[in-house]
Amino acid sequence: MKRAARPKLASAKERAPLILARLKAAYPEASTALDFENAYQLLVATILSAQCTDTRVNMVTPEVFRRFPNPAVMARALVANHGGEVPNTMEELHALPGVGRKTANVVLGNAFGINVGVTVDTHVARLSQRLRLTPHDDPVKIERDLMPLFPQADWALLSHLLIFHGRQVCIARRPRCDACVLADLCPSARIP
């Protein structure tokens, strides 16, 4: 017996509000996994997270912040160029050593509540492709594709929602499509 053809899905623009609403309902606690008390700590933790997992970063940062409690003892660029304060613009953050667009988006969105862009990590990239919200694999191009699909006020949260979903359900090598709240909206879903 032949399986019925899957109905054609709506466009990314039409599916995006549904995706966001369902993820918000599924993960009301979604937030950054990094532990921090201020913008300086988040900046350092985010830079470190590029080299290892968030869990490992959270294990080492208490000692890092004990030894280097503020920019004056660790981050010369912050002291020399910003009076010891973490800047709150994309341009100024991106100019700091070790800070790319992803790190700047994390700091702006989570420390300052400023949504300049969407943080695109491996989970966000993978899910954006699986959901066919983008055809790209370059983080900057993925970010450009996501921004017009979702309200700017939700850009930082969107990243957290996709990361939570990517870690818990839409796992890289074994997605759990049978347990996915987005399965009917996902062109990549493996459902009967």
pLDDT tens readout for residues 2-33: 544 556 789 999 999 999 999 999 999 999 99
Q: Which DSSP state fits 33?
A: S
Check residue 4 and give its pLDDT: 46
Domain that holds residue 97: 39-111
Q: Which of 16, 18, 34 is nearest to 102 (CA)?
A: 34
> What's the confidence (pLDDT) of residue 7?
62
Contact 88, 40 (CB under 8 A): no
Per-residue model confidence (pLDDT) at position 107:
97
Q: Residue 77's pLDDT is what? A: 86
Residues 126 and 140 in one domain: yes
Spatial contact of 163 and 27, defined as CB atoms under 8 Å apart:
no
- Asked if residue 86 belongs to a domain, the reply is yes
22 and 44 fall within a common domain: no
Structure tokens at 94: 């991106």
Q: Are 54 and 33 in contact (CB under 8 A)?
A: yes
70/101 Cα distance (integer angstroms) = 23
Split into its structural domains, the chain has a count of: 2
Instruction: Give the span between the Cα atoms of 166 and 14, in whole angstroms.
Output: 21
Handedness of CA 18, 34, 110, 102 (dihedral sign): negative
**Crossing angle between the packed helical segments 155-168 and 101-111, to the nearest 10 degrees:** 110
Helix (H, G, I), strand (E, B) or coil at 192: coil
**Res 176: pLDDT:** 96
Is residue 121 part of the annotated active site? The answer reads: yes
Please check whether residue 134 lies inside any domain of the structure: yes
Query: For the domain that residue 163 is a member of, what is the CATH number?
Result: 1.10.1670.10
Is 7 inside a domain boundary? no
Selecting among 2, 102, 138, 184, the annotated active-site residue is 102
What residues in the chain have per-residue pLDDT under 70?
Answer: 1-7, 192
Looking at the fold, whether 84 and 147 belong to one and the same domain comes out as no
81 and 129 together in one domain:
no
Catalytic residue among 2, 121, 154, 184: 121
**Hey, what are 29's tokens?**
């606690």
Residues 83 and 49 in one domain: yes
**Does residue 2 lie within any of the structural domains?**
no
* Residues 43 and 81 occupy one common structural domain: yes
Residues 107 and 154 in one domain: no
191 found inside a domain = no
Q: What is the CATH number of the domain that holds 74?
A: 1.10.340.30
Q: Do 97 and 52 fall into the same domain?
A: yes
Q: Which of 70, 86, 111 is the last residue of a domain?
A: 111
- Of 111, 142, 159, the residue that ends a domain is 111
Q: Which residues of 35-57 are buried (b: 16+ CB within 10 A; e: fewer)?
A: ebeebbbbbbbbbbbeeeebeeb
Confirm whether 102 is domain-assigned. Answer: yes
Our answer to whether residue 54 is catalytic in this structure is no
